[in-house]
Structure 1
Amino acid sequence: MPPRSRPRLIITENRPGARWRAVLLVLVWIATVAVAAWSGARWASPDAGALRDGLDALQEEHAKSLQRIDRLIQKQTTLERSAQVERDAARALQDTLAERDAELASLRNDVAFFERLAGNTAQRQPLAVHSLSLEPLGDGGWRYLLILTQNLKKAAISKGSFTLQVEGSQGGALRTLEWTDLVQKPDAAALPFSFKYFQQIEGSIALPPDFIPHRVRVNVRSNQGQTEQVVPWPDASSSGVS
């Protein structure tokens, strides 16, 4: 039998301090890296505190600016509303003044009318059509106001009747609407009147939808005779037409 081989013994040197030195080197490296990082950040931003203070100041100023903007917007809105109120008031005042001017003009016309009618120097005239005004009512309807006058010295009462005719065109052809057409009554009679100096007569007439009026013919019959007056359409402000 071959002889048994003897076990080989390996002898190593036990160095417990080597492991601790490795751990210490790692800790030193970590500390060095941390110090280097802190130093880098410190040198890269030496005034970080001042920057934070400046940023806080900017944010505070920004907030104040926003507040000032809000106040300015509110002030502008208030001014715009005040301006609108003033414009509305001015427009209303203009409308009122226009109405007053129209009323004054009407009163002046009335005064002049009465002065001409009753004044000592007024020209003496027999029965006549003083004016005819027309105002639309809608749907082809028109309101008329007829004023008949006379100012003869020691005039007696004028009695009679009148009718209206409207001359115009319809469907491209000339046409005259008679009194019965205007009041839409086939048997309509002339309207009566009776006065010593003047009389206002109101009424309404109707026109066909496709009728275009050109003029109005006023026919008056009285105990003084017959008179006829042609008035352009419409004549809403005529006075003393001839």
Structure 2
Amino acid sequence: MNWLAKINLPIVAKKLGPFKSALLLFSVIGLCLFIGYRLGNYYHGYQAKTMKQQKLRLDDLYLQHGETLKRIHTLEVELDVERIANLNAQNTIKELEQVHFEVKKELAFYHKIMAPEKQADGVVIDQISIQPTESEQYFQFLVVLVQQKLKKRYAKGFIEVSINGSENGRPKTIALSKISSLTKKELSFSFQYFQRLSGAFTLPKGFRPESVTVGVVLPKGKWQKYRRIEEIMPWPKLEQNVP
């Protein structure tokens, strides 16, 4: 920039004369205006291109946002439908359970009339099942008790289980306490409507089971009299072979 400082404008104007000085001045001004105009057009075009790209990107974002909102609304509708279906299914299950309970109650009523020895103060044995396991001579059992009295108090007591069969050609009965680690507390019940009691046992080798005896004992208490019922179920035909 030192060369600019060396230029003496008055001397240049004096040497060129008034006309040429004015012509030079207008030329410089015109050149500056032309350069400014071209630069302005360049930056204007650049800004217009950038704004167009930004607009396209913004439109794409709006489109994605709209698709996302549509997807969210669809998922919300599906969730509401599934929630309603689940609620209906739960209501249906409750209704079926109520129907099942009413059928059990009617069945227990007829049991009470036709076989009073099969109920104890409204408590009946609803189910007895024996299932084999992968281990030899190892079985699982399930006993379901149901109370069918209209004015229900809590039925309290315990069950007694024994396996009837033969060993070495002679009849033999084995109490559950001899072949299982279950305690009396684990075989006790306290319920108002129904209760499931389950456990496992191991039969001794050489013992051939023929039936299962389940006794339900209601000890004498403040609100109940002593009652005892007993039911014998033939040993089921199981997949596991008993030697």
Shorter-chain TM-score bucket reads 0.3 to 0.5
Pair member with larger Rg: 1
TM-score normalised over the length of structure 2: 0.46
TM-score normalised to structure 1 length: 0.46
Query: Relative CO higher for 1 or 2, CA cutoff 8 Å, sep ≥ 6?
Result: 1
